Structure 1
Amino acid sequence: MAALLIGNVGTLGDPEAMAEYRAKVGSTLALHGGGFVIRNGTFEVLEGIWRPDHLSVMGFPSAEQAHRWYRSPEYREIVPLRAGTHMDLILVEGQAV
């Protein structure tokens, strides 16, 4: 089953460190079969109260591969670059249609 990671970056810690994180994260995704579907996408709230700040969607062939990426040494190495930055990240798995 396909898997999507939906991320929202809120309040930034160090903008320069986050710029470095953003420059490096794509290559860590690719190592595990993933990549950006939408990066910094614009959005319109049609229902509810969720108001993301900086929304991205990443795709993986499976939730297992998404988990491998999230736990990988390559990704863990760049996580400290986002220190002080608020981030929400959810994993959604389902059948692609």
Structure 2
Amino acid sequence: MTIENLFAISLFPYLAFLWFLTKSGKTPKLALRGFYVLLIFVFITIPAGIYAKIHYGTSLANVDWLHGGAEFFLTLSNILVVLGFRQAVMEKEAEK
């Protein structure tokens, strides 16, 4: 099994994870948006990796401007998830 196949297969459990989070209705909205932004990261990383391979003859990790642009969405995703759960914890503490 190649890395590309493993990457593609791993998308299905993540989509199921998102489906269950969304369906439960218990995930803070901002955190849920963060989890969805991770999909943007994935869908940007794939063409960026292909572009890096075709035009630069190397992997995405070796082309700083492409890699940084893709990683921005991973960082944004993480920030949204953390802020969403932080907000939920603060709201729960305020209820006490």
Normalised to the residue count of structure 2, the TM-score between the two structures is 0.35
Greater relative contact order: 1 or 2 (C-alpha under 8 angstroms, separation 6 or more)?
1
Larger radius of gyration: 2
More strand by proportion, 1 or 2? 1
More helix by proportion, 1 or 2? 2
Normalised to the residue count of structure 1, the TM-score between the two structures is 0.34
